[in-house]
Structures are given as C-alpha cells and as structure tokens.
C-alpha cells in the first residue's frame, strides 16, 4: 500500500456503492499480496494465486471462497457448533465453585484460552494442534507480531517469524498425518481447494496459519467485551436473564435430580435483547477497516473518480461513531439500540465487513459468543475483585490488524453460583441452525427472504 493513492470512505451510502462494484473494486488482490507475506507462504504459492486471477474480468480463484459453504447454515456448521458448545460447556463447568464459595479467574486470559480451545477443537477435530500448549502460546505471540510481518523485512520481524514457524510446523504435521480428515468440513474443503490449485504441503500449512487468524484473532476479544458490557450493566443483565429463561426447560427425574435444558436454536426468535446487546458491544469495540484495490479507472456514484492502482480504505470506527447515523448518544452503550433501529441503515453496522468480503465465519463466531454469554449469565454471578467495580481496560496496545479492540490488562473477577445452578445440572443443545442470526445487512435481507 505504500506509495498508493488512498481513498478514505466514511459515508454509508458510498460504502454500499463500493460493495456493489466488487469486480473493479476488489479485495482479493490485496489478500493475495498480504496473506502470503503474513503467513510465510512461498513465492510459488503467491504466483499461483496471482496467475489464477483474471483481474480484467473480475474473476478470482475459488480458493478464496472455499470456506463459505461449510460456514453457511447447514450440516457442516451444525457439526462445528455442537463441538464448540460441548467444549464451552465443559469450560464453564470447570469454574463452578463449591456451594457457598467462589472462584477467582483472570477474565481476559481465561476467556482467551477456553475460546481458543473450543474454536480450534470445532475446526480441527480430535487431532487439533492447539491442544499443545506450545502451539497455542506461539499463536498468540505470533498474533502480536503481525504488523511487523506486514511492513518489515523478515530479519526485522524475527520474533514473529520464529513463532510462525512453530505454527507452520504443527499444521504441516497435522496435514501430513491426514488428521484433517477427522476435522470439520471447513478444514477439509479448504485443504482440498489448496491441493487442487497445486499448493505444496508446506504452503497449505502456512496458509492454515492465516485461517487460524481468521477464526481466533478477534473472537476472544469480542467475547470479553460482551461479558463486560452485560455484567457491568445491571439492566442489561436482568433483561437478558429474563429473556434467556424463556428458552430454558426444566425437568425432574425419578430421583429428584433437576435438569435445565437450553436450546440455542431458539435464540434467534426468542432473544432480541441478547442479540441487540451483542451488536451494540461490537459497534462500540470494532476497529477494523475494509480494503479494496481499484483495478480499473472507476467513476463512483457519478461523482468520484477512482484511479486504477489506488486503495480504498473504509474504517469501521468512523461509521460506528457517526452521530448522524446513530444519534447524539452514539458514544453510550445502549443494549436495546438494535431492537428498534428502523431509522438506521442496515449497512451502517460493519463489524463483520460487508459485500463480497462479509466475514464467512460470522455465524459460527456469533453462536460461540452468544453461547459463552448465555452460559455465564444463566449459571453465575460475576463481579470484579477489589474496589472500583467494572472499569473498562485500556486498549492502546491493540494490534493494528485486529478487528476488535484488545484489552491491555486482565480483569480479576470473582465467580459465584446462581441459585439455579445449585439445584440441578445444565444441558445445552443445538437442534438445527437453519435460522440465521441477522448480524449483518446481508443476513437481514436473507432472513426476510427465508421468512
């Protein structure tokens, strides 16, 4: 991007126009350039990506979209969600205090570790490389170094290169042993697509590091902010508990043992406050920027001339903090903001991007974030340790490649059981996922068509 003409776009209507011009204003050429650099793929792999592109006609290799079918609502996504929910449930259960006592945890670090395990277990299956603590640790150290890997030569980004090698070695072993065949449809389909395009085993392992960034880098931070906003806002906490209670059924067996059963499939239709709270938390804490490269001289909206070779930058934060879009209370957390948001353009919510670059993993990550939130909300009371109450951590050290603000400090919290936890066990299930969480403008349109 250095030396390129930069077009900065803050208008929701102009962003929508750009997204419609996906053949001449494209992300894929940028993705090819930087993914090879970030992931440490070979020049041969980069050349395969470039040669497969027909830039003049706006045709890009299917490898970029290989992950979409397995992440769309259906059987493949259901399988991933069920594995993730089981893993999250075990993690939540692991902090259950004894009756009358409490458990202290570092909320940021605890969530990051357990979200990492739940996510990767769902994607990579029983031979998940992230079960090795060294691999998990290497990933989060590598994630910190991504800006250096993007902008600096390898010898000045040696720390990132070193941790990246740990990850590539682990994934190479994973693919070489055919462990991906026991993984999700996502990892199997992506590997098959790479293989069909002629990538080497080592390059497939390198690009899998990029896939790990996509599934992990922002989810744990998003979960933290959701938990933070819900538990620090008594009204939101009360509303969500009342709402989630409507999809909990309780039964008692012959021995008098009570079972509370929560079906996540019912969240879409029964929990508008919960989903509104999620979108509001993401509105306030999303900082990503959508990028496009101008492939041909283009006149946009009969007004703006975009010259070939330029780069379009659409920062999320400028739209999410625009008073003309959201109102004078734009800086405030309003957990019901998205329930009655008819006056706000659906395209104004950009936490998952938009258009052809809309995050394909949004359904999985949304389910995971809401699952962690509902389990914590229904089973526990959480409060910060020490005086001062809930104080948001600073975010100055957030990685510039991140989409969600990353907390600079951990928050020590005290976890205690709610009364309903001590009178029985909790069971979580997902019967089907055809119902789409309307988290992006495109999803809202899809939901109307399905209904």
pLDDT score for 448: 40
**Residue 349 located in a structural domain:** yes
Residue with token string 């991504």: 146
| Interior/surface letters 240-276, b for 16+ CB within 10 angstroms, e for the rest | bbebbeebbeeeeeeeeeeebebbbbbbbeebebbbb
Kindly indicate the confidence band of residue 450, based on its pLDDT and cuts at 50, 70 and 90: very low
What's the whole-number mean pLDDT along residues 362-385?
95
- For the ranges 167-176, 402-411, 430-439, the lowest mean pLDDT is seen at 430-439
pLDDT score for 317: 94
**Residue 247 located in a structural domain:** yes
Per-chain mean pLDDT for the chain: 89
**Residue 139 located in a structural domain:** yes
**Residue 229 located in a structural domain:** yes
For the annotated binding site, the residues are: 359
pLDDT at residue 447 is higher than 50: no
pLDDT score for 310: 95
Give yes or no for a contact between 28 and 291, defined as CB atoms under 8 angstroms apart.
no
Using DSSP's 3-state secondary structure scheme, residue 102 falls into coil
Q: Which of 75, 76, 97, 78 is nearest to 86 (CA)?
A: 78
Residue 402 is given by DSSP the state -
Q: Write the pLDDT tens digit of every residue in 77-132.
A: 999 999 999 999 999 999 998 888 999 999 999 999 999 999 999 999 999 999 99
Burial of residue 381 (number of CB atoms within 10 Å: 0-12, 13-18, 19+): middle
Give yes or no for a contact between 22 and 308, defined as CB atoms under 8 angstroms apart.
no
pLDDT score for 162: 97
Q: Which of 122, 128, 183 is nearest to 430 (CA)?
A: 122
In sequence order, what are the beta bridge partners of 258? 252
pLDDT score for 39: 94
| Number of independent structural domains in the chain | 1
Give yes or no for a contact between 243 and 273, defined as CB atoms under 8 angstroms apart.
yes
What's the whole-number mean pLDDT along residues 383-396?
93
Residue 250 or residue 140, greater confidence: 140
pLDDT score for 449: 32
pTM given for the model: 0.92
For the annotated binding site for heme, the residues are: 359
pLDDT at residue 68 is higher than 90: no
pLDDT score for 117: 97
Residue 172 is given by DSSP the state H
**Domain of 73, in residue numbers:** 6-450
pLDDT score for 420: 67
Sequence-ordered list of residues with C-beta below 8 angstroms from that of 31, at least 6 positions apart, any chain: 64
Q: CATH number of the domain that 374 lies in? A: 1.10.630.10
**Residue 1 located in a structural domain:** no
């Amino acid at each position: 991007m250095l030396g390129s003409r930069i077009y900065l776009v803050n208008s929701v209507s102009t962003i929508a126009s750009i997204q419609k011009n996906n053949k001449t204003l494209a992300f894929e050429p940028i993705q090819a350039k930087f993914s090879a650099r970030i992931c440490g793929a070979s020049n041969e792999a980069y050349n395969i990506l470039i040669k497969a592109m027909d830039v003049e006609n706006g045709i890009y290799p299917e490898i970029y979209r290989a992950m979409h079918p397995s992440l769309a609502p259906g059987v493949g996504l259901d399988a991933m969600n069920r594995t993730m929910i089981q893993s999250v449930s075990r993690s939540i259960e692991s902090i259950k205090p004894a009756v009358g006592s409490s458990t202290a945890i570092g909320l940021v670090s605890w969530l990051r570790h357990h979200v990492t395990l739940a996510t990767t277990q769902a994607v990579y299956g029983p031979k998940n490389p992230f079960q090795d603590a060294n691999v998990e640790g290497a990933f989060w150290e590598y994630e910190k170094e991504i800006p250096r890997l993007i902008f600096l030569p390898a010898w000045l980004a040696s720390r990132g290169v070193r941790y990246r090698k740990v990850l590539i070695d682990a994934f190479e072993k994973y693919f070489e042993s055919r462990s991906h065949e026991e993984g999700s449809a996502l990892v199997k389909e992506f590997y098959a697509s790479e293989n069909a395009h002629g990538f080497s085993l080592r390059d497939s392992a390198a690009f899998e590091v990029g896939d790990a960034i996509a599934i992990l880098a922002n989810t744990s931070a998003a979960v933290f902010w959701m938990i933070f906003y819900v538990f620090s806002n008594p009204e939101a906490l009360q509303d969500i508990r009342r709402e989630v209670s409507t999809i909990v059924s309780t039964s008692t067996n012959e021995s008098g043992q009570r079972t509370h059963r929560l079906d996540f499939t019912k969240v879409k239709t029964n929990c508008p406050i919960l989903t509104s709270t999620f979108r509001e938390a993401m509105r306030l804490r999303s900082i990503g920027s959508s990028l496009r490269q101008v492939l041909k001289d283009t006149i946009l909206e009969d007004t703006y001339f975009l010259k070939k070779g330029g780069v379009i930058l659409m920062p999320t934060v400028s739209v999410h903090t625009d008073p003309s879009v959201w109102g004078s209370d734009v800086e405030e957390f309003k957990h019901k903001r998205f329930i009655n948001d008819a006056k706000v353009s659906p395209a104004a919510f950009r936490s998952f991007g938009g258009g052809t670059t809309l995050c394909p993993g949004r359904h999985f990550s949304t389910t995971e974030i809401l699952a962690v939130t509902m389990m914590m909300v229904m089973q526990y009371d959480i409060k910060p340790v020490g005086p001062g109450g809930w104080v948001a951590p600073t975010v100055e050290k957030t990685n510039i490649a991140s989409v969600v603000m990353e907390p600079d400090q951990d928050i020590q919290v005290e976890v205690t059981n709610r009364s309903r936890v001590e009178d029985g066990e909790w069971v979580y299930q997902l019967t089907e996922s055809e119902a789409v969480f309307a988290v992006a403008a495109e999803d809202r349109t899809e939901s109307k068509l399905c209904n």
